[in-house]
Structure 1
């Protein structure tokens, strides 16, 4: 074996061992060990890296040793773990929320929501307004809004006369603009006093009603802003508990600051009984819009079983570190 080939094999062994370690550590959950929770995020990238590393190793190393068998077993098991966790987001999986044909639904039961984390430092508001005008959603949910952003979005009032706003300078402000009346609106603080969630009841033109909840929980990492580190129960799970057992049709939307396959998000889905509309459709990764390599889904729409999906789309960037996320739904009879 040539020197270059030996070096390549050693590199692949080192890289593969690191990927195996990352995979195993990502299975450990502890709210205080934030760095292990972060390992949940790049599962798609780790899966691709595992497959590339395994393929390259098989081509570069032909020696039949016990160490080689152990390494290959670890690589195959790690690929299986990552693929198993990500499989529900594959088009090969069953849709958690079934699709509906546009021609078969009552248009008065159809509505749409555009979820956009604007990034508090971003100033490309006109690009966002153009996206909103193009998609013309029923609801526009913006997050990380401060007073400047709320002021800039005032131009939406003509088409979206119903609003709930809570601007802040801590990157957790929120604004909801709606074409439909927001009945019994509430601003609740589930875990931090300056991190709001919005709760409202909505009546569609056909008379059917549903509950709309918008969230932007704090990220599971240390921050100069509010942090979840050391918290006993994060906002997402707390919201799930509040929604559990209710038979009312429900939509929960927002930047969850977590991936759909994380402990907290899967627990939220289990406790609340709501479903991620991405299941069976794809990842639709919305963050990081500034990186071609490290991207994963952070913005979500979860719904109860009363709904059907007409459209899902990740929209073009507008200067934020998040892409807008668009969903069109219909509420079944």
Structure 2
């Protein structure tokens, strides 16, 4: 009886793992599909456990053809998940080259920090102390409401430049900089509820650097909208995807400049949308070849995803990449120190299919925002 129960457990787990592994390949923005792009590490762990159970059943019972079929299915599913994870491990080549000591001795550096503070968090002074300790040249803070604005007042004495949108419900986003912010502005690319920040950093010793800080809406979030009568509903991924594509297009249109795009993307580093974002913009991820640096959720080590990102154009080399604790927040912060490298002047050459996919996502995102009554 126990052997039969064990075999059925393996069968059902194998079927479920195949289904949820393939669901993200369906071209749909529905949150119940898109959410399965996040837990690839966790699903890999479940695959490993299922393999152990299968081995146990084959060892105790009599091995037969079904064991081989289940083994092949589990190994194929594990390989599929691993193909998404491996680029974010040291076995993969670095995507952003590491600066050598000779380069650092002769060039300026730029340190960027990105942190989702969590608007329900009230440990203001501790966050300020972390920022002082890390001493970034530019710091992007997300979910800044009126309480956080007051608590972060000491930053106005440390940083001469500031731009952003202070709002409740986790919608605020503000950047502080000791480097002049030229042409700094807040834009609402898809939804009037979701702000993005664009600026040009006049970095001494490096030159102008185009900068974007973003925080698109996550799929699966229960969010109030003007058209729902005050109730909440789970959002799909269409607005998020559209915002990422619009930022990617902005980068591609201004490819002569160096670019840094950072923020809480609410999208996993290995997702199809993020891959399309990278293909369209030709930005690079410093984590590739180094490590995941999963940033959410701080309280659950076995349930974390890499959703806070820092992407850079060519023309940079990496000095340091680190994950930092913000007390009371459900996100870790990311700090990245960069230095200048030779800039490739060739324009981005995204495949036509990628551009068509991006245009479709932008159109769907605009339609969704219009349906929700939050279009810009």
Cross-structure match for 1:49: 46
Of residues 258, 268, 279, the one that matches 1:270 is 279
Say if 2:127 is the partner of 1:118: no
Alignment of 1:24-103 (within 5 A): 24-31=22-29, 33-62=30-59, 63-103=62-102
Give the secondary structure class of the aligned counterpart of 1:23: helix
Distance 2:116 2:203 in 1: 26
Aligned pairs, how many? 330
Cross-structure match for 2:355: none
**Are 1:289 and 1:317, in contact at CA under 8 Å, matched by a contact in 2?**
no
Alignment of 1:93-172 (within 5 A): 93-105=92-104, 109-172=108-171
**Closer, same or farther: CA 222–207 of 1 in aligned 2, 3 Å:** closer
Gaps of 5+ in 2: 226-234, 343-376
Cross-structure match for 1:213: 212
Distance 1:114 1:231 in 2: 25
Normalised by the length of structure 2, the TM-score is 0.83
**Closer, same or farther: CA 123–107 of 1 in aligned 2, 3 Å:** farther
Give the secondary structure class of the aligned counterpart of 2:17: helix
RMSD: 1.9
Instruction: Select the structure that is richer in helix.
Output: 2
Deviation, 1:65, is 3.3
Deviation, 1:57, is 1.3
Q: Which stretch has the larger CA shift, 213-222 or 255-264?
A: 213-222
Deviation, 1:222, is 4.4
**Are 2:44 and 2:82, in contact at CA under 8 Å, matched by a contact in 1?**
yes
Deviation, 1:331, is 1.7
**Closer, same or farther: CA 129–102 of 1 in aligned 2, 3 Å:** farther
Gaps of 5+ in 1: none
Give the secondary structure class of the aligned counterpart of 2:222: coil
Cross-structure match for 1:174: 173
**Are 1:188 and 1:197, in contact at CA under 8 Å, matched by a contact in 2?**
yes
**Are 2:34 and 2:237, in contact at CA under 8 Å, matched by a contact in 1?**
no
**Are 1:9 and 1:61, in contact at CA under 8 Å, matched by a contact in 2?**
no
